[in-house]
Amino acid sequence: MKLTFIILSLLLVLMGTRAMASVSSMPQAQKPEKSFVCWKAMQTLIKRDGVGEQWRAKMRPDNTFRYTAPTKTLSRWWTLEKEAGHEVLVKESPYDRLIVRYSTSQKCAPEIATIALNAPTTGFTDAELARTLKNAQGGGLIYSWSPFMDHSVSGIKTIREVAAKNNLALTIVLDPNVKEADALKALKKEGITDVKLTKMHSFEMRKRNTLMHYPNILMYKSGRIVGPMVPGIMGQTTYSRVVGKYLE
C-alpha cells in the first residue's frame, strides 16, 4: 500500500514536471515592434489613427501571434499578423477594411486593398453605441445577456440595482444569435419585465469579446469605454466594487 502511494506520487510529480516544461517551451508573444520586421514601414498608417490601448496578442495554430488593438476612433481596430513572406496590417471597421500586405523579401514594399462592408442597421449597432457613449451623463454600463445562460437572465435584476445604486446609465443588449421568443420565455420565467429585446450588432463590442461569455458588462465614462469586458455573474457588492474601480 505504501509502495503504491510512493509510485503514484512520483508519477504525479513527473507529469507535473512535463506539463511545466511543455508550458515553458511554448513561444511567448513579444511586443509587435520587436516581432515585425516591417514595423517602421507600418508607422505611417498606425500613427495616423493611433492606438487607443495596448496591443493584445493571441497565438494562432501555426504558433505565430495575431495582434489586435483599438484605434483612437471608436469602432476602428488594428489587426497585425504574419503570412508566408508578408506581414499584414489591417484596419477594420463596420463599414470597411483596409488591408496592407508588406513583403518581407522586398524591403517591406506594400500591397494595399480596401473592402467596403455593409454595416448592420438594426439592433444595438456601432452608431447606437456611439450615441450611448456621447449622450450619457457620467458613467454607464452595457450588460449583455443570453436566454440560454440562466444566471445572465437573473443577473438583469442585480445589474439594474447596481446601476441605480451607483447612479449609472444602463443599457441591456441581447445575444444576437438567439430567437426573441426564447428571450421572452426566459424573462417571463424570472419575472423580469420592461427589458427591450435589442440584439447586439456592434463591431466594437464584438472586438471586445462580448460574444464569448454571458453575462458580461462593458463600462464607459466621459464618452469612452474604460476597462476590459468583465464576464460572469456577480453579487451587488462585487459588481459595485468592479464598477467603482474603473468609473470612480
pLDDT digits (tens, 9 = 90+) for 236-246: 999 999 999 99
Q: What is the mean pLDDT of residues 96-103?
A: 98
Beta bridge partners of 171: 142
CA atoms of 126 and 55, how far apart (whole Å): 22
Q: Is the pLDDT of residue 13 over 50?
A: no
Is residue 102 one of the residues assigned to a domain?
A: yes
pLDDT bucket at 28, cuts 50 / 70 / 90: confident
Is the per-residue pLDDT at 99 higher than 60? Answer: yes
Same domain, 105 and 183: no
Q: Is residue 197 part of a domain?
A: yes
- pLDDT on residue 231: 96
User: What is the rounded distance in angstroms from the CA atom of residue 82 to the CA atom of residue 65?
Assistant: 8
* Domain presence at residue 60: yes
Q: Are residues 110 and 136 in the same domain?
A: no
Q: pLDDT confidence of 135, banded at 50, 70, 90? A: confident
The total domain count for the chain is 2
What is the pTM assigned to this prediction?
Answer: 0.85
Spatial contact of 32 and 46, defined as CB atoms under 8 Å apart: no
Residue 11 falls inside a structural domain: no
Q: How confident is the model at residue 224 (pLDDT cuts 50, 70, 90)?
A: very high
User: What mean pLDDT is predicted for residues 143-171?
Assistant: 95
Residue 14: inside a domain: no
Other CB atoms within a 10 A radius of the CB of residue 225 amount to 21
**Does residue 41 surpass a pLDDT of 60?**
yes
Instruction: Tell me the residue range of the domain where 239 lies.
Output: 126-247
Of 53, 82, 116, the residue that ends a domain is 116
What mean pLDDT do residues 144-156 have?
A: 95
**Which pLDDT belongs to residue 20?**
47
Per-residue confidence (pLDDT) for residue 22, from 0 to 100: 46
Q: Contact, 140 vs 127, CB < 8 A?
A: no
C-alpha cell at 175: 445575444
Q: Using an 8 Å Cβ cutoff, are 1 and 7 in contact?
A: no
